[in-house]
Structure formats: structure tokens, C-alpha cells
Structure 1
Amino acid sequence: MPNLNRLGILDDYQGVTLALGPWDRLPKTLGIQVFRDTITDQEALAARLAPFDALLIMRERTPFPRALIERLPNLRLLITTGARNRSVDLDACAERGITVSGTPSHGHPTVDLTWGLILSLLRRIPEQERGLREGRWQVALGNALEGRTLGVMGLGNLGSRVARVGQAFGMRTIAWSQNLTEERAAAAGATRVDKPTLLREADVLTLHLILSERSRGILGAAELAQMQPGAVVVNTSRGPLIDQAALIAALKEGRIAGAGIDVFDQEPLPPDHPILAAPNTVLTPHLGYVTEENYRTYFAGAVEAVQGYLDGRPVRELRPG
């Protein structure tokens, strides 16, 4: 039967992994080591990870390209939280006989955060809260959601959930994506429109697309120029969906009213990143999936993945293609 000696757990930012998973179900002989920092230097990262024959990675916090995988001669099991991970080179893993397993996850926390950002922007909650703490009372005017237009770019599982919440707020909901049909839009209570109409009419534009070469930079300078000056953009999907330089320019020039951003082109976000100085923003550190419920589900799934590997029956395998 397969055997494992050392499990490395990467990018445990909050230091909670061992407290939230049923790790006591694993063999006592399996050594577990947790790392709370993110290493971006490939040479230093390879040196850290080389001794491990099993690794648990948290989503895309640390990418696993071919160049890194080929420098990990002992690696036999790679577990990623979630059902897929586009930052892992599955071809390289398959070529080296590395089993890659995913875990169950919940999508609804991202919906929660999306609406947290929308409400924060339109009602200007962070600004009002900061003013109150500084001894000022009612420092700005907010905007109500009812009667406004919610534009959803990407009406899959999460986008559809976001759309339904918008309807509960009394918002008109329109949607667009490259393969969206009128029937699918209607099932989510939305109206399918073309991309220019989505950009032109949305008071709130929220992105819910999978990152791919087709969707990378799908909201750029040309698209931002078509939006209303009073509109806001929300992104809880993937940073590269938006041209961040174009977004920052639009915010600084007042061509849109604000942005709520949970995902960035570089993560963790460096302290000198220009988006931190952009006006009218609510920024969060990629919190869409970061809830206790999701973490418990992730880590229970990770334990199952180790057990399945040791039993010779891998679970939730991720394969190339």
C-alpha cells in the first residue's frame, strides 16, 4: 500500500488549519508541518517543499507550475482546497506520477461578500463608520439599491445567486456572458443583454467569470469608458478579469463612481500597490471563500484525500484535460 511520511500545509494565513480539521484521523506516523507565510521566490519555495511527499495548498495562494513541480522529487500527493485549481500544472503532475486531489467547498460565502461590497459602496458604510469614529456625524450621502440596475457578467452558479439577491432588493437585473442564453438568464430572474448594453445600463456591475485566456482583461479601458459615471464595479472572482491599471485610472479620473475589489493581479497585495491609493474603493484581501464553514469542509476533505491515497483509492482526482 502507498505510504506518506511528511505533509506540508501551505499559506495558513490565520493559523487555524490544525484547529479546524480532523487531522487526528490520520496515521500518527505522518508528520504535519504548517507554513503561514507565502514564498514567491521559486528557488526558496522549492528548497522548503523538497522534503515533503504530500502537500496541501489553499486555492491559488501558491501556484504550482511545471518548473516548481519538477523540483519536488519526493512529492506524491498534492491536495488543493476546492474542486479545481488552475494554478496547478496537472500535465506535469501526471507525467511525474503525482496524485492531485480536490476537496468539497461552498460557493455561497462569495455571494455574501459580493453583497457586502455592494452595500458598502452604495451606502458608503466604511466612510460613514470612519467619520463616526473621528467624531463626525453623517459625512456623506449614500444610494439605495431598489430601482437600480444590477449588471451580472457571468451568470453561472454564483452569478445566479447574486442576481436573485439583487431581485430581493428590488433591483432590475440584466446579465451577459459569451455563452449566456435567454432561457438561462430568465431562470435566474435576469434579462439577457449584449455586452455594450450591460456596460451602459448597469449601476452595479459584478463579475462572476472563470479566469481563462478568453476572459482575461474582459473589463478593460474600452469597457470602463462605456459605463455610467455613477456606476460601481465589484469583483470577487479573479483579479486578472479586470485591467487593474485601467480601473485605477477610471477611479482617479472619476469616470466611474467606485469599485469593490476582493481579488487582485498580485496576491498577497504588496503595500505599495497603486490600487491602495485609488479613491472610492472598498478593498478586501481575497475573502470570498474565507469562512470557518468553508475551512472545515476543506480540511475534512483534505483528510479524506490523504486517507484515500493511503488506501490506494484516491478521491476527487484532478486530471489533465
Structure 2
Amino acid sequence: MPEIRRVAILDDYQRTAHRYAAWESLPDGTQLTFFPFHLGGTEEVVAALLPYDVVVAMRERTPFPAEVLDRLPNLRLLVTTGPANAAVDMAAAARRGIVVSGTRAAGLTSTAELTWGLLHALTRSLPAEERTLREGGWQQTVGRDLHGARLGVVGLGGVGSRVARVGVAFGMEVVAWSAHLDPGHAKALGVTPVGKRELLSTSDVVTLHVRLSPRTRGLIGRDELALMRPDALLVNTSRAPVVDEAALLAALHAGTLGGAALDVHSTEPLPAGSPWRDAPRTVLSPHLGYVTAGTYELFYGDALGDILAYAAGEPIRVLTR
């Protein structure tokens, strides 16, 4: 049976991963290291992970292309939280004999909940008003009503459906579009299926809930942003590359878009000099959609189970693509 010697837990930003699984059940003598910071680029990743035979990656935070996998000769098991990871070169892993295991999916409800938190923060200027209040001031802005407004949901899957239900409960007119939208499912939710152009050009709020794939990369670009009303709001809790960030930033500075709330960013953690840090009419969060105790319990519990199963010679939840 494979021997487990060194295990690395990546991107433990909150220094809490040790709480969410019974890591003491790892084989005696296992060296367990929690990395509370992002490792960085290829050279930093290779240097840090060279001694480890097991790595637990937090979703797509740390890419594992062939050039990284080929330089980690000790790596035998790569665990990713979630049931898929587009940042892992599966062909290179298979060539190297590295087993890639995943965990069950989590974060559907938590991401939907955060979507509404971001939207409320944007429509009621909560970050700015909170700062003003703490500095001794009082009301500075006039908020926007959601009741009666049109909510455009792009992607009506697990997260999008939950977001749509809340929109209906708030008395919003909810419309939806995706490349493979099921009209019957939409109507059962009280949602009107529409074309992409109509959704973008008529919605007060557009919220994105699609998987990142070659088809959805750049789904919202300069032309799509130009279709949106100048007072419209964009919310992205999906993946950053779904939106052309340069085009979005330009629209915000030009005043041709009402505002944006973003939980996802092309480079994470967000660099100190990022132009998003002072972008106008924005609410930003550090990819918190999945960051809840319930999600972490499932992710880390399953990750531990993957490691123990591998050590017993019977890998589970093995990913091939």
C-alpha cells in the first residue's frame, strides 16, 4: 500500500483548515503542513511543494499545469476540493502516474446567499455608508429599490436557480438566459426565459452563474456591456474570466455602466496595485462565495477521506478530466 509521508494543505488563508477534519487520523508519522498564504507562480509552487507526496489544493487557486507536475517527482496524490478542477492538467497527471481525487460539490447555497449580500451592498451603498457613519457622518447616498426591478440571471443551474427564487420573493421581474436553458425549469421557478440580447439590454441587474469553460470565457465582453443600460448593475460570483475585466473596468470609468459587485478576480489574491482597488461604483469581496463552515467541513472531510483511501490502496473520487 502507498506510504503517506508529507501532506500539504494549500491556501489556508484563515488558518482554520485544521479545525474541519480529523487530520490526526492520518497514518502515524505523517508530516502535515498548512500553507496560510498563496504560493505564487510556478517557481514558488515547485520550490514549496517539492518534498510532498500529497497536496490538497483549494479549487483552482493554484494551477497545476504540466510544467509544474513534471517538476514535482514526489507527488503521488493531488486532491482538489470540489468535483472538478480546470487548473489541473489531467493528461500530465495521468502521464506522471499522479492520482487526482476530488470532493463532493459544495457552496451552492452559500454562493447564492453571497450574491444577494453583494447586490444589497451595491444597491444601498453599504460599504460607503458604513465608512461615513464610523467617521462621524450620516446619510450620503440614495439607494435603489429591488421590488419591481428586472433581474437577469445568466445561468439557471444550482446557484442561478437559488438566486432567481430570491428575486421572485423580492417581487422582482426575473428573466434568465443560458446556452442550454430549459424553459420548463425556468417557468417552474417563476422566471421568464429570454434571449441573451434582451436580458442584457433590459435588466436592471445582471447576475452571472455559469461554469467556466471555453464557451463561457469572455461571455460578457465589450459588446455585451455596451448592450446594458447605463444604470444597470453587474454581479459576478461565478468566475472572473467569464467577464472581460478590462472592458468592464473601462465601462465603469466611462460611466456607461451603473456599477459592479465582484467576488471573483482574474488574479487571486488581488494584487496590491490592482486597478480594481480604486474602481468606481464597485463592491469587491475576496472570493467568499464558498467560504463557510459547512463548505469547509465537507471539503476538508472529503479531502481527508481521499488521502486515507489512497493510503489504503483504494483511491476514491478519482478525476480523469
Extract unaligned runs of 5+ from structure 1: none
- Amino acid across the alignment from 2:251: A
Question: What does residue 45 of structure 2 align with?
Answer: 45
**In 1, Cα distance between the equivalents of 2:293 and 2:183?**
37
User: Given the two structures, how large is their TM-score scaled by the length of structure 2?
Assistant: 0.97
Aligned residue for 1:295, secondary structure, equals: helix
**In 2, Cα distance between the equivalents of 1:183 and 1:97?**
44
Kindly state the Cα deviation for residue 44 of structure 1 after the two structures are TM-superposed. 2.7
Kindly state the Cα deviation for residue 181 of structure 1 after the two structures are TM-superposed. 2.9
CA RMSD, 1 decimal: 1.1
**8 A Cα contact 1:151 1:174, kept in partner:** yes
Question: What does residue 114 of structure 1 align with?
Answer: 115
Question: What does residue 217 of structure 2 align with?
Answer: 216
**In 1, Cα distance between the equivalents of 2:41 and 2:197?**
41
Query: Is 290-299 or 278-287 further displaced after alignment?
Result: 290-299
- Amino acid across the alignment from 1:6: R
**In 1, Cα distance between the equivalents of 2:159 and 2:5?**
38
- Amino acid across the alignment from 1:146: H
Question: What does residue 253 of structure 2 align with?
Answer: 252
Q: Equivalent pairs: percent with the same residue?
A: 49
**In 1, Cα distance between the equivalents of 2:217 and 2:84?**
18
Query: Is 182-191 or 199-208 further displaced after alignment?
Result: 182-191
Question: What does residue 16 of structure 2 align with?
Answer: 16
**In 2, Cα distance between the equivalents of 1:295 and 1:224?**
35
Kindly state the Cα deviation for residue 41 of structure 1 after the two structures are TM-superposed. 2.7
**8 A Cα contact 2:107 2:289, kept in partner:** no
Question: What does residue 55 of structure 1 align with?
Answer: 55
Kindly state the Cα deviation for residue 182 of structure 1 after the two structures are TM-superposed. 1.5
**8 A Cα contact 2:221 2:247, kept in partner:** yes
- Amino acid across the alignment from 2:167: G
Question: What does residue 83 of structure 2 align with?
Answer: 83
Kindly state the Cα deviation for residue 40 of structure 1 after the two structures are TM-superposed. 2.3
Query: Is 138-147 or 30-39 further displaced after alignment?
Result: 30-39
Extract unaligned runs of 5+ from structure 2: none
**In 2, Cα distance between the equivalents of 1:129 and 1:29?**
49
**What is the total number of aligned residue pairs between the two structures?**
320
Matched, 1:301 2:302: yes
Aligned residue for 1:11, secondary structure, equals: coil
Kindly state the Cα deviation for residue 24 of structure 1 after the two structures are TM-superposed. 1.6
Question: What does residue 124 of structure 2 align with?
Answer: 123
Kindly state the Cα deviation for residue 120 of structure 1 after the two structures are TM-superposed. 0.7
Aligned residue for 2:308, secondary structure, equals: helix
**8 A Cα contact 2:84 2:319, kept in partner:** yes
**8 A Cα contact 1:93 1:99, kept in partner:** yes
Structure 1 segments of 4 or more deviating over 3 A?
Answer: none
- Amino acid across the alignment from 2:270: L
Question: What does residue 146 of structure 1 align with?
Answer: 147
- Amino acid across the alignment from 2:245: Q
**In 2, Cα distance between the equivalents of 1:293 and 1:41?**
30
Aligned residue for 1:215, secondary structure, equals: coil
User: Given the two structures, how large is their TM-score scaled by the length of structure 1?
Assistant: 0.97
**In 2, Cα distance between the equivalents of 1:87 and 1:239?**
14
- Amino acid across the alignment from 2:89: D
Deviations 1:153-196 (A, max 9, x none): 11111111110011111111001111113223213321111111
Query: Is 144-153 or 1-10 further displaced after alignment?
Result: 1-10
**8 A Cα contact 2:4 2:27, kept in partner:** no
- Amino acid across the alignment from 2:286: P
Aligned residue for 2:148, secondary structure, equals: coil
Kindly state the Cα deviation for residue 107 of structure 1 after the two structures are TM-superposed. 1.6
**8 A Cα contact 2:11 2:61, kept in partner:** yes
- Amino acid across the alignment from 2:86: R
**In 2, Cα distance between the equivalents of 1:93 and 1:187?**
42
Deviations 1:67-92 (A, max 9, x none): 10111111111111111111011111
- Amino acid across the alignment from 1:7: V
